[in-house]
Amino acid sequence: MINHVLFDLDGTLVDTAVDLANALNVVRQHKGLEVLPLDVIKPTVSLGGNAMINLAFGLKEYDEGFEEIRDAFLRHYSENIAIHSRLFDGMETVLNHIEDKNIPWGIVTNKSKWLTNPLVTELELDKRTKCIVSGDTTEYRKPHPAPLHYACQLLNADEAETIYIGDAERDIEAGKRAGMHTLIALYGYIDADSEPNSWQADGTVNSPEEIIDVLTRHNQG
């Protein structure tokens, strides 16, 4: 049985791409650069801020000027964190279903706590989720399994009876290493060059509503 559900945040549970892209483009404009289209930025969103900055400015973490740009990007994002961010279409139906089935659900993200908590609060998900594990909650981030193990501790859950749903390879790696069922959210921010079939997840979904079908088939089976 799958008795607990864990979601990645950006690109799986919540569509945050527009707010993140807008913040990135504000910094580009301040630097005299043209705005990048959303479709160009979106595939990097689930890879984190460093990947977005590398895309937009060609800078890596230890390059000169990286910290200045990162701080400006995150500052603008934090001040506009839930202007356009919403649950993915159909996700409200999924949450209602698992809540009706008394299946506790949680969030495990690499997003830092100081950004995760305001976003979750703005969307009033803090009143519904049973646990929130951010990128700085434990010593390690995904793809390390530690955040997922900690989420199970908070939920008093057995990893073998838990499913983790994400849209990045590191999500699936973390879930597999934690001994969980894993599901790829193909509707998320997956780069066209990525090969999700090589991630060896237990399944894929093309829309949030398909999560209900997966849970139903698994638990009935």
**Residue 193 among the catalytic residues:** no
Side-chain-side CA neighbours of residue 216 (13 Å): 8
pLDDT digits (tens, 9 = 90+) for 109-156: 999 999 999 999 999 999 999 999 999 999 999 999 999 999 999 999
Residue 57 has pLDDT above 80, yes or no: yes
Q: What are phi and psi of 2, to 5 degrees?
A: -100, 110
**Residue 10 among the catalytic residues:** yes
Residue 2 has pLDDT above 90, yes or no: yes
Interatomic CA distance for residues 189 and 118, integer angstroms:
22
pLDDT digits (tens, 9 = 90+) for 195-218: 999 999 999 999 999 999 999 999
Q: How confident is the model at residue 221 (pLDDT cuts 50, 70, 90)?
A: low
Residue 192 has pLDDT above 90, yes or no: no
| Residue 115 burial (CB count, 10 A) | 20
Catalytic residue among 8, 15, 19, 171: 8
Kindly report the average pLDDT of the chain as a whole number.
97
* 162-182 mean pLDDT: 98
